[in-house]
Amino acid sequence: HVTQTRHAQKACAEMRGIMEQEIRLLCSGYGAETGSDLLAVKLFENTETGEVHTEITGGIRQGDSPSFSLLHGGFLYTVAELVGEKHAYIYQYRLSEDGIPVPTGKKIFLPGGELCHLYAGKKALYASCYGTGDFFAVDYDLEKIRWYRSPGAGVIDAQTEKICPHAHWVSEQDNILYLADLGCDRIYRYELKDGLPEKELEALVLPTGEGPRQLLPEKESGKLLSAQELGGTLRRWKNGGCSECVKTSRFDGTNYPGTICMADEKTVIVCNRGANTLSAFSTDGKLRYIGEWATDNWPRHLLQIPGTDLIVNACNKEGTLVIFAWNGKELIRKDEIILPGASCAVYLSEK
């Protein structure tokens, strides 16, 4: 019935001469005890009015906390996060014509805990285990581990007397690999050779308790942005040093910044867990606060849809993926997708 309605709406739009583009997304979540936790979604945007509608076209259940996913080489890769202290998997899927994940049967076991992030490098797929502080590089066929590093080994928390690394996002810029370690307040750096880390460089050291979570290279300036989960800050790095640091929210209370993404060439968006807002900062010159807008509970992830002004915000505790439009001055809420434990959205294609 929903599909028939959608087809009827599209036919009416075509009769009126209104242009409508179709965008395909893959959304993941890890809060549903039953039902699909990987959803294929079609997003329809009216290019004349800016109106947005979504349609769930199908889905499957992975069942072991697929909190993060990415697309590379025509395949979808997902993680299994909350499955044990030393138990983590990466899965590979192909996609049907409707964007529904179909298991290829390929997966790889990693001896780490709470696998929370993947990064597609030129020659390897990088995986970060938050719970144990381990970083891995595996081949895209998921046959072998090509590189492994546990940089937090030996770092002891003074209160708990336990090792406290928390491996997080991996990123790459100018043939340098960056690894964010939230628990150790470090951003590790490696020179790459043949697509794999070869030489470790001096780490970027943050103040105690800052907790770097995500890294985002600025393409034009060559600078690096980092979001600090524990410190509630956005930092900008240049030539191996921190050149700027700003608070990500003007909310008066505890705030844990999550993902950051570029809304356009000179605007970065930050999702604030706790404040439950999205903040915008200009990167033209010094970092400048533009504004802050309410979103749903616990905004965990951001996706800027290429070729559009649309941003998808996965709100974990609310169980929604909220779609916003960025008009250069503010974020405007357009629609939402319901998915328990919503954690991530991946852009697949456009028609």
* The predicted structure's pLDDT at residue 288: 98
pLDDT at position 156 = 54
What is the pTM assigned to this prediction?
Answer: 0.92
Token pair for residue 202?
């001096």
CA distances from 308 to 15, 266, 268, 348 (A): 24, 15, 15, 14
Give Cα separations from 334 to 72, 76, 134, 322 (angstroms): 28, 27, 38, 8
Say what the pLDDT of residue 9 is: 54
Encode pLDDT of 261-278 as tens digits. Answer: 999 999 999 999 999 999
For 333, list phi and psi in degrees, rounded to 5. -70, 135
User: Rounded CA gap, 171 and 126, in Å?
Assistant: 9
CA–CA distance, 88 with 182 (Å, rounded to integer): 19
Q: Is 8 helix (H, G, I), strand (E, B) or coil?
A: helix
pLDDT at 266: 95
Beta-bridge partner residues of 37: none
294 beta partners: 277
Q: How far apart are CA 331 and CA 334, in angstroms?
A: 9
CA dist 246 and 272 (Å) reads 13
Spans in the chain with pLDDT lower than 50: 2-4, 15-17, 154
- Which pLDDT belongs to residue 17? 47
Q: What is the pLDDT at residue 3?
A: 47
Question: What's the rounded Cα separation, in Å, for the pair 83 and 63?
Answer: 10
**pLDDT in the model for residue 19:** 86
